[in-house]
């Protein structure tokens, strides 16, 4: 790794602190019978920690220049995949685990954090949990509650799939090269409490509700429904509120009332 050239386009920021690596695996609750999907192997420091604890690890790494380094680690229960995770179907990923449950652990590049979170939540049917290193501001948005300034589409949709919490804040000084922002470790336990709801339609509905943050629910929804029908089904007091004031369960009630309109 001495001559390795870090690539800004891949958002490469590696961790080497052994105590932190152990803490990440601990927060992810990795046990000996677990299957782990890692996204972004980097130099393999976290991969090694995961391999000591898990039954099997499948680790994606987009940078093929790291192939020699990673394969040289000789980790018997780790399969490295040198491809872009975002271009790999969830079905293909899950086949690598034989259809068994899996946990995701990842130090995600900041520039693609949200798309990866949505891909995992929406497409992975065997997902148990996500433990991901993200920009601190993103973690705060994920965990935000109704009425807060950080509350939005990401907050609602993560809550739709499970329970999220920040397990630890991590200084930018723990990474090399050092990024410009601090990070946080985010743990999302998947609950699958709303399997009877079409997640694609619900996401579209939430995006419509938040389409203009400063506007009322009536203004945002009237692009998809008639104002008369909205007032009849939801009531004027509800429609005067902004999307950021509604909890997940209130959104679910609204969605249920409008789904056949």
pLDDT one-digit tens code per residue, 192-245: 788 889 999 999 999 999 999 889 999 999 999 999 999 999 999 999 999 999
Q: Is the pLDDT of residue 125 over 90?
A: yes
Residue 66 backbone dihedrals phi, psi, to 5 degrees: -90, 0
Question: Whole-angstrom Cα distance, residue 85 to residue 38?
Answer: 10
Q: What is the CATH number of domain 199-258?
A: 1.10.8.100
Read off the pLDDT band of 14 (50, 70, 90): low
What percent of the chain clears pLDDT 90, i.e. is strictly above it? 76
Distance CA 163, CA 126 (A): 16
Contact 71, 2 (CB under 8 A): no
- pLDDT of 123 above 50: yes
Comparing 8-190 with 199-258, is the CATH topology the same?
A: no
Query: Residues of the chain with pLDDT > 70: what percent?
Result: 92
Q: Does 163 score more than 70 pLDDT?
A: yes
* pLDDT band of 173, cuts 50, 70, 90: confident
Per-residue pLDDT band at 178 (split at 50, 70, 90): low
- Given pLDDT bands bounded at 50, 70 and 90, which one contains residue 7? very low
Q: What is the mean pLDDT of the chain?
A: 91
- Residue extents of the structural domains in the chain: 8-190, 199-258
How large is the average pLDDT for residues 53-82?
Answer: 95
Digit-coded pLDDT (tens) for 72-109: 999 999 999 999 999 999 999 999 999 999 999 998 87
Distances (CA, A) of 104 to 50, 74, 120, 183, 246: 11, 21, 9, 18, 29
Q: What value does the mean pLDDT take over residues 31-43? A: 94
Report helix, strand or coil for 110: helix
Mean pLDDT for 45-70 is: 94
pLDDT of residue 16: 65
Fold of 8-190: Rossmann fold (3.40.50)
Q: Which helix (H) or strand (E) holds 51?
A: helix 45-53
Q: Report the pLDDT value the prediction gives residue 10, as an integer from 0 to 100.
A: 42
- pLDDT (0 to 100) of residue 181: 81
For residues 176 and 184, what is the distance between their CA atoms, to the nearest angstrom? 16
Closest CA to 107 of 34, 7, 24: 24
């Amino acid at each position: 790794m001495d001559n390795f050239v870090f690539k800004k386009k891949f958002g490469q920021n590696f961790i080497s602190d052994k105590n932190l690596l152990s803490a990440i695996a601990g927060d992810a609750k990795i046990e000996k019978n677990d299957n782990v999907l890692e996204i972004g192997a980097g130099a393999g420091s976290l991969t090694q920690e995961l391999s000591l604890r898990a039954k099997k690890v499948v680790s994606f790494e987009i940078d093929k220049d790291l192939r020699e380094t990673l394969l040289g680690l000789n980790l018997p229960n780790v399969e490295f995949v040198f491809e872009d995770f975002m271009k790999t179907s969830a079905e293909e990923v899950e086949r690598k685990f034989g259809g068994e449950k899996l946990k995701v652990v990842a130090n995600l590049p900041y520039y693609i954090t949200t798309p990866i979170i949505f891909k995992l939540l929406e497409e992975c049917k065997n997902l148990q949990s996500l433990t991901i290193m993200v920009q601190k501001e993103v973690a705060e948005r994920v965990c935000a509650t109704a009425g807060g300034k950080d509350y939005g589409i990401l907050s609602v949709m993560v809550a739709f799939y499970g329970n999220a919490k920040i397990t630890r804040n991590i200084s930018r000084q723990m990474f090399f090269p050092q990024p410009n922002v601090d990070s946080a470790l985010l743990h999302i336990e998947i609950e699958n409490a709303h399997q009877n709801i079409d997640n694609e339609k619900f996401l579209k509905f939430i995006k419509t509700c938040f389409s203009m943050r400063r506007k009322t629910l009536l203004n945002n929804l009237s692009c998809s429904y008639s104002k008369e029908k909205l007032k009849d089904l939801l009531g004027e007091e509800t429609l005067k509120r902004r999307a950021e004031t509604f909890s997940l369960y209130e959104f679910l009630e609204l969605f249920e009332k409008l789904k056949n309109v």
